[in-house]
Structure 1
């Protein structure tokens, strides 16, 4: 999981992510194709685009894949102690099936062992693996005790502000996230971080040497202020129960919006109303204020519709089930986060409890962390963590353009409505990420050492160049001027096509350990599948990556 906002009290001006956002056709419109063509508006489905699957059809495909998992494991060369567990299935219009598997070794989960098998008419066409190394572990007997590994994890959590003195749980695993696979412990520590964000720190410890191999935060946070504080008067789908209306959307997987009333735990109380008119359009510090709930419900509604209309994806897990949202989290909490463990979105009220983090792109950003978690599962650290954050920025931006809201027009700025910086500037800029003072415009060998909110700049810049191209232009009244690392001129293919390429790469080619070089390969594979290997789109993907120094 991951936050949109990187812990304002410790790391300034960043948006974060953890493991487990409407275009106004008004003045200033550019001649850019993507500014004129709504995402997902293609009249004819692309052969390699995902097709809509009913719940029953999806279940059948998963069951069939699981039934044949042993044979598949043998076909792709896995060892006798390795087993495949189906996580998800995507079927393209042309019949190609992409089956995403988790892996076990001698009954232990293999972290970083996920893979995708691409098949057609029952025949394997290729395999994309998170780790290409063979899984071979000399011994399954640890030399380090689980207690020692847990103690190390608790110490690591304390540096984040956790007051927990014991781990919430630990399990033996095979760590294949990087390098040679080894026997390890995965330990989880809960509690709260120093800014009030829930803590769900996962620490991976080598069970032979005791060395800490990896850690990631299981809570995805984002910064946003919202209501129709930001989006004006909007239509909401609600439910009438007796004589009372509930903020529950039965048309979008029964998404519900709850009031935490400044608490930091529990689900809260479902918002209800007598006349089905919600909020005031103004921020209030009251714990019963409905305005923040309006923005949260609207953000969830637009995010659901964006994914459904653009990618034929039915909800975050693509199973037709809606998440739920909680507002008024904590007191003066300047963040928002997605938590995969509760399958829910949570929003703080910002400074003084009058700046809720519920703007449209923040909502789209955070819930897109859920999509990433339930597809590629990009590790929230290093370059894969930057790609995780960028994916949320990319799809959050897609949601904002899709909504076509005149109060919050589509742009390539992240968090521009919530004013976290206090000076009217956005959190991030996709056309030239370094304008925020910390993000990377281009790849370098050290970019993975940056906070994931800053290393995300490389992918954000790539996406902007792919969609809009380089140089100066004005879109929906906002002026951009995107540079390139090699001095090249990049011609954009439009936002709609750029979104299709990124989504296909995420759902059928990215794995948990994908880095920037692998992302280039994955998006080229996606462009080839969608448009052809000699297409303008394929060449544009290559040019945009080269322009951000990813070869």
Structure 2
């Protein structure tokens, strides 16, 4: 049963009263069109065309990963569609991108971590085991290792690397380290740690009474899935029959969990009501918080929050700490992940702590809204840790950005961005500026938080203070057409000495005419001497329809390109005409199509593929139907038909590329003779992203290769939460009557963490399996103890460990070898069996002795296997 608990406080946290929450549900009218699907489709078209910042080489593709909602809740919806780049099918680390649209599907902005143009040899020279060994060496102690994924690191023209995630400790502190090892040389190219350290304020909140949401008389909030507070030492939530928690003592971990739930629930509501975000991860889920870390600090580990203590041994689970650490989680769960330039991540945590304090609006003497960090917890006996209004005043941290910031310690480096946020929210009345300027009034903390959050939704993995300037100006322009917020955002950046950047938007109160550009199709294949066409589509995204001049560039010698007409009114289309001469060498050529309209310029990329000389034997390829729609987890089929167009029939091998994540393609048969047909079955998984996906079906013959496009539309259901389960080690040996253990590890692979419970099957007679704990949150581990008895038969057994979550179930197998049954400790010798036929030199165990056969025998005799005459006693064992 879910209840709301009233918690009354004295000097710390004291007695509780119970209030049963009630409510009613009301069906909402279905919208005429799903704006998420509209936004995703528009963004997919932009990504496929290589629009503006999404420029890409011929071997690069964008795979959609998530759609985030921003804007102003209840007034203006904006959508941010996040993509990951691939190169020849491999993930590109640092190749991520974001497309911003409005609810009508108009593309407002495109950002990318890099500009494409990768050229990488994807053949590794070292194997995965070597890469894992190198990755493990980066930590002092290693608790868990997650694979070695062959990837491309987006530096220059790219480097082939293995990405391995190792969890453990580094320099005495927890670490979840992404290690990027050059797949050709073994050199460590980059290190990225998910763990973020932070600090906070007091344990006490008020005024009386406080109310928190709990479930089943425990410190778990099932009204906010995934949110639970546990004891660090047991990994279990606090449970009481009285449903009352906290003893009024700041040294109580149970009291710490009360503060965790109170603060997180306030932050959750702030995210919803002020920013329009659904939960900590954006998909309606929270994370586990552990109270009891033996450190004067708190951490976001990349999977959970760990709360430590101050120098007075008081648990620091208050508004600042919990809000700050959840800020790290939100940073990770928005496009681009956690910021890597010094100061960005810590300032983001401080900003979300300040936003949560402002939303909770507790009166004095509790944790009142302010821009101080750690003012009540007195972490090390020196009062506040940071002051966002004047970072230099408390800790000597820099108020202003300089070229030294990227090399500054991360907490000190948070000063400039914290200072910028304060100036944006409150103005410069109580805060000195770096350039001597005056900002008469800020836009308020709620509006400032909205600008910063929408800028976070434009993040990429290459984020810097400079890029945050561009992103926040873009967000302010999109949120407020009057440009008032834009002007204060700009003044605040100037006031902390972050200079103007090329490409940052301008803003006037009169709408500026702007347009979008797209190609259909975005590529074409011709033989040398042939020609092809594509449609250049334009649309008006701001202001009024206006003239757009169209040009093309980048084509090689022997290729001519024209656009008819050469200029259109935004909203109209033109035709791209491409023709080649017989002398054009076979290859892939990117052609840039540019549109200039008023003060704005946009470009897209058309990929021209020129084949060799027309083959003597040739065929055509077609799919019918050429499109299909499925829900995630469903399948669809189409017919792939081939026709001989010249010469003789040839063997044609069929393949499919461009499949979305989690989808597979199967041809029946996979090879046909030109003139025959095959059945193509496309199967999706629950994690396959919604949207329109263009799949290329290719037929390769001995003399010719042809392709056709199949459009797969996956319904707009949100991705299923999923996880993986592993055993470490995967096998063990015991004597009958003994026991062994293995670690059951879980990892969240899609969506958000979920509760996972464990069972084991396939146990031999007399054996038992015990999991400690019986259930975990995905991302956590359990210990499996396998115990045998003296009656457990000798042998090798495959034990299946089943992990059952709310959405999915997975299994892993463990090989258990039991020795000594009937053999008295005779190692791996098989026990003698009366029904087995033996030959000379066979060895068995029986009655605690080793026996060797000297002849052919079966059947039992007292005291020895078979007959005394044919068995040699090798002695006791």
If the TM-score is normalised by the length of the shorter chain, which range does it land in? 0.7 to 0.9
Q: CA offset at residue 165 of structure 1?
A: 9.7
3-state DSSP class of the match of 1:346? strand
Q: CA offset at residue 497 of structure 1?
A: 1.7
Structure 2 match to 1:275: 242
Distance 1:422 1:454 in 2: 18
3-state DSSP class of the match of 1:452? coil
Distance 1:281 1:391 in 2: 31
Distance 2:414 2:114 in 1: 22
TM-score, normalization by structure 2: 0.49
1:74 aligns with 2:42: no
1:450 aligns with 2:408: yes
Distance 2:101 2:310 in 1: 48
3-state DSSP class of the match of 1:367? helix
Distance 1:310 1:221 in 2: 26
Structure 1 match to 2:40: 65
Whichever of the two has the greater Rg, that structure is: 2
Distance 2:177 2:283 in 1: 28
Listed one character per residue, the Cα deviations across residues 342-390 of structure 1 (whole Å, up to 9, x for unaligned) are: xx322124446x31120101101111111111113344432xx422221
Structure 1 match to 2:794: none
Distance 2:182 2:273 in 1: 44
Listed one character per residue, the Cα deviations across residues 80-133 of structure 1 (whole Å, up to 9, x for unaligned) are: 43333323213455565321112222222211111111235445443111112x
Is the contact made by 2:203 and 2:377 (CA closer than 8 Å) also made in structure 1? no
1:127 aligns with 2:127: no
Is the contact made by 1:58 and 1:89 (CA closer than 8 Å) also made in structure 2? no
Structure 2 match to 1:309: 273
TM-score, normalization by structure 1: 0.76
1:548 aligns with 2:496: yes
Structure 2 match to 1:319: 283
Q: CA offset at residue 310 of structure 1?
A: 0.6
1:498 aligns with 2:448: yes
Distance 2:414 2:404 in 1: 13
Distance 1:75 1:281 in 2: 59
Is the contact made by 2:36 and 2:79 (CA closer than 8 Å) also made in structure 1? no
Q: CA offset at residue 238 of structure 1?
A: 1.8
Give structure 1 stretches of 5+ with no counterpart.
Answer: 1-52, 473-481
1:537 aligns with 2:476: no
Distance 1:58 1:460 in 2: 40
3-state DSSP class of the match of 1:142? coil
1:376 aligns with 2:335: yes
What is the root-mean-square deviation in Å for CA atoms of aligned residues? Answer: 3.1
Listed one character per residue, the Cα deviations across residues 455-482 of structure 1 (whole Å, up to 9, x for unaligned) are: 121110101111111143xxxxxxxxx2
Distance 1:68 1:469 in 2: 36
Distance 1:504 1:96, change over 3 A: closer
**In the alignment, which of 159, 168, 191 is matched to residue 191 of structure 1?**
168
**In the alignment, which of 360, 374, 384 is matched to residue 403 of structure 1?**
360
**In the alignment, which of 431, 435, 450 is matched to residue 486 of structure 1?**
435
Give structure 2 stretches of 5+ with no counterpart.
Answer: 1-27, 500-877
Distance 1:442 1:58, change over 3 A: farther
Distance 1:55 1:356 in 2: 46
1:290 aligns with 2:254: yes
Distance 1:485 1:83, change over 3 A: same
Structure 2 match to 1:25: none
Relative to total residues, which structure has the larger strand share, 1 or 2? 2
Q: CA offset at residue 311 of structure 1?
A: 0.9
Listed one character per residue, the Cα deviations across residues 209-259 of structure 1 (whole Å, up to 9, x for unaligned) are: 5443321212223234654478775211122x4xxx122223323522222
Distance 2:48 2:42 in 1: 11
Distance 1:440 1:213, change over 3 A: farther
Distance 1:538 1:379, change over 3 A: same
Is the contact made by 2:201 and 2:373 (CA closer than 8 Å) also made in structure 1? no
**In the alignment, which of 292, 296, 299 is matched to residue 337 of structure 1?**
299
1:390 aligns with 2:347: yes
Is the contact made by 1:191 and 1:199 (CA closer than 8 Å) also made in structure 2? yes
Listed one character per residue, the Cα deviations across residues 277-333 of structure 1 (whole Å, up to 9, x for unaligned) are: 211221236xxx42111111112111111111111211012222232322123xx32
Distance 1:60 1:486 in 2: 43
Is the contact made by 2:266 and 2:356 (CA closer than 8 Å) also made in structure 1? yes
3-state DSSP class of the match of 1:187? strand
Distance 1:68 1:118, change over 3 A: closer
Structure 2 match to 1:204: 180
Q: CA offset at residue 72 of structure 1?
A: 3.4
Listed one character per residue, the Cα deviations across residues 366-418 of structure 1 (whole Å, up to 9, x for unaligned) are: 11111111113344432xx4222211111110101111122110110112222
Structure 2 match to 1:235: 211
3-state DSSP class of the match of 2:368? coil
3-state DSSP class of the match of 2:494? helix
Structure 2 match to 1:173: 151
Structure 1 match to 2:377: 418
Structure 1 match to 2:460: 511
Distance 1:188 1:58, change over 3 A: farther
Q: CA offset at residue 60 of structure 1?
A: 8.7
Distance 2:327 2:420 in 1: 18
Distance 1:504 1:149 in 2: 38
Distance 2:35 2:449 in 1: 28
Distance 1:296 1:346 in 2: 11
Distance 1:125 1:415, change over 3 A: same
1:252 aligns with 2:224: yes
Listed one character per residue, the Cα deviations across residues 417-462 of structure 1 (whole Å, up to 9, x for unaligned) are: 2211212x21111112123445221111121001222212111010
